[in-house]
A and B are shown apart, each in its own frame.
Chain A
Amino acid sequence: MPKIEKEITITNPQGLHARPAALFVQVAAKFNSKIMVRKNEECVNGKSIMGILMLAAQRDHKVVIEADGDDAQDAINELEKLLMQNE
């Protein structure tokens, strides 16, 4: 299965901060695929809270999620859904 990429604009007013970041990491960790999150030049492990926090993605920032593995498509779908739903 090839690597899948998806660009998403953060809409949560809080950005990808503590609570949303924690959720993101928890969901990402469920999948076997390697998951990376990219913002501009920076690229971090999507299963790492430190990585996601250091990305400092705020509202209206664009991030690219990369998933590489047998469940890549499911992972992208679920993470996208998570980022699109605003608490």
Chain B
Amino acid sequence: MNSKNFSCKMNEITLKGIPASAGVAYGSAFILDKQDFIVNARAILEKEIPIEIARFEEALIKTREEILEVQKKIADDMGMQHARIFDAHLLVLEDRMLIEQVIKGVKNDKMAVEYIFSKTLQHYAKVFSNIQDEYLRERKSDVMDVGRRILKNLVGESKWYDLDQLTEELIIIAHDLSPSDTASMYSKHILAFATDIGSQTSHTAIMAKSMGIPAVVGLKDATLYVSNQDFVIVDGRMGLIIINPTEATRENYRKEYNRIIVLKDRFVNIKDLPAETTDGRRVEILANLELPEEIPTILKQGAPGIGLYRTEYFYMNRMDLPMEDVQFAAYKHVAEAMAPHPVTIRTLDLGGDKFVSSLDIPKDMSPFMGWRAIRFCLARPDIFQTQLRAILRASAFGKLKMMYPMISGVVELRQANVLLNEVKQNLRDEKIPFDEHIEVGCMIETPSAAMTADILAKESHFFSIGTNDLIQYTLAVDRANEKVANLYEPGHPAILRLIKGIIDAAHAGGIKVALCGEISGDPVLALILLGLGLDEFSTTALSVLQIKQLVRSVSYKDAQEVARRVLELLTGTEVEEFSRSRLKELAPHVISAEMEK
């Protein structure tokens, strides 16, 4: 047991992780990862054996129908080639070895068939995991997919302990959360997230912030300590979770919770005012968007547009590729909902190569330096141009802009634009309307792009600095690895110098610079960014008003002075300390007790 991140008082257990989204919450725990194969061992009578076997056969037939249906859909959408993947699924279903083993198990052990089946499945999963060959090892997910379907049909949907069925308010505990996990939680009453792995910029943290709920990540082994329905407190400011708290602890947190509720709405009076410094420097504070469901929250915060609309969701939450019309409808909806304000769509920023053929998002982190984002898109113009076409068509319905992620040099930018121009020409030929003047920008998130910003500025309409990636590439810190998470320093002099260089190069080239990383929502760093001359901040919806209040509370002159001073400092810690102390003098009401570290 790790004594460092673990402490115990009566029955109360406290685990320490990384604070990922501020606030506190308490409630009943729901452990996501343990839902897969919870099947109770149930003994049966001798005479029930034929009934169990018949149930098994019925489930196999039903599963077969389901798979055939999915296969047919994919064949229609994408061609038979892709649908062939399911041939292997169907064979698993008809597998004699598997079926015989289950029937034999039911007869010998006299246990319910779902129990025997889940045991058999686990046995295969283990054997597959031990196979040397990597390709075959991955077949495990095919077998598990089929297995899960069969189990679902055996247990019956209604008894399946599934998040979709839950209506009560819950605290989600998981080893890790994938974008498709969090997407399905959007409409649920989720109070907080707590995960074993992850860092301040992992997907869980970003989603929690946009949903306005607390999150703690990097807890190492929270899933081991928490049981379903345990009473849990999540403290997103301190990075703590408290399992089975004592009455005294509960009372403390109840007070804390009420205090934060009051703070939450404190900037709402400046909702409709511009983000302008006391000496007249006007900037824009926009919101980041992942799912259209967030739009009401964003409008409530008075954000004059979307600075980053992530589109990966379309690709990750399904087993086939999203059709042009599905994307078009979503982009059009967002464009119309935000009009006349601008919406900047980031083209597909997916990592790795495993999203079409597998139902689940791979558990392991995709390699950040690999085949991802624009690299993937340039290699798969079929997928990329489908998205570009959907964006362009939607541009007729509002103010859309678009930007390419992970550009590492001007060649990629040009290649992407060649593909874009092809799509534009096709649309013109087909007489389909689109915005001929749609602005196309470049995300600056690799050190190479930052250092060649002057070159890129000549061929871009705008820049958007993606600091989450820029920081991890520049500092060589894998943001998904909690062991090095402490090295992830947004205020590091290297980062400040790069950002200054990008902004100066862009302004020299006559274009504007936005920044859509997490740091634009942190008042301490936002003050520096303002002083460096940033034109647009794009942040999670719930930070929009706070950052606007910051901008409205200081003069540009003072912010520039802060930026000038921090550029002379030697470490990230010194930078943040200096900026925080100046912030306390210039705009004390912006940093509340809630934010203080």
- CA–CA, A44 to B128, complex, Å? 15
Min CB–CB distance A43 → chain B (angstroms) = 12
For A22, list chain B residues within 8 Å (CB): 87-88, 91
- CA–CA, A24 to B88, complex, Å? 11
Chain A binder among B92-100, B275-283, B462-470, B551-559: B92-100
Q: A20-36: which residues lie under 8 A (CB-CB) from chain B?
A: 21-22, 25-26
Interface bits A1-34 vs B (CB < 8 Å: 1, else 0): 0000000000000110111011001100000000
Q: Which chain B residue shows the least CB distance to A48? A: B97
Is A54's beta carbon under 8 Å from chain B?
Answer: yes
Q: Number of contact residues on B: which range applies?
A: 20 to 34
Question: When the two chains form their complex, are residues B135 and A48 in contact, meaning their CB atoms are under 8 A apart?
Answer: no
For B329, list chain A residues within 8 Å (CB): none
Is B40's beta carbon under 8 Å from chain A?
Answer: no
Total A-B pairs in contact (CB under 8 Å)? 50
Is A64's beta carbon under 8 Å from chain B?
Answer: no
Min CB–CB distance A73 → chain B (angstroms) = 22
Known: A17-B136, A44-B97, A45-B96. A54 touches B91 (CB 8 A): no
Q: B125-151: which residues lie under 8 A (CB-CB) from chain A?
A: 127-128, 131-133, 135-136, 139, 142-143
Question: When the two chains form their complex, are residues A54 and B131 in contact, meaning their CB atoms are under 8 A apart?
Answer: yes
- CA–CA, A48 to B92, complex, Å? 8
Known: A45-B96, A50-B97, A50-B98. A56 touches B132 (CB 8 A): yes
Question: When the two chains form their complex, are residues B91 and A45 in contact, meaning their CB atoms are under 8 A apart?
Answer: no
Question: How many A residues have CB within 8 A of the partner chain?
Answer: 20
Is B84's beta carbon under 8 Å from chain A?
Answer: yes
Question: When the two chains form their complex, are residues A50 and B135 in contact, meaning their CB atoms are under 8 A apart?
Answer: no
Is B161's beta carbon under 8 Å from chain A?
Answer: no
For A69, list chain B residues within 8 Å (CB): none
The 9 closest A-B pairs by CB, nearest first: A48-B97, A49-B91, A50-B95, A56-B131, A51-B97, A18-B88, A48-B95, A48-B96, A45-B97
Q: A45-B97, A48-B97, A51-B97 are in contact. List 10 more A-B contacts (CB 8 A).
A: A18-B88, A18-B142, A21-B88, A44-B97, A45-B96, A48-B96, A49-B88, A50-B95, A54-B127, A56-B136
Interface residues of A (CB under 8 A from B): 14-15, 17-19, 21-22, 25-26, 44-45, 47-51, 53-54, 56, 58
Interchain residue pairs with CB less than 8 A apart (23): A14-B135, A15-B133, A18-B88, A18-B135, A19-B88, A22-B88, A25-B91, A45-B97, A47-B96, A49-B88, A49-B95, A50-B92, A50-B97, A50-B124, A50-B143, A51-B97, A53-B139, A54-B124, A54-B127, A54-B128, A56-B132, A56-B136, A58-B133
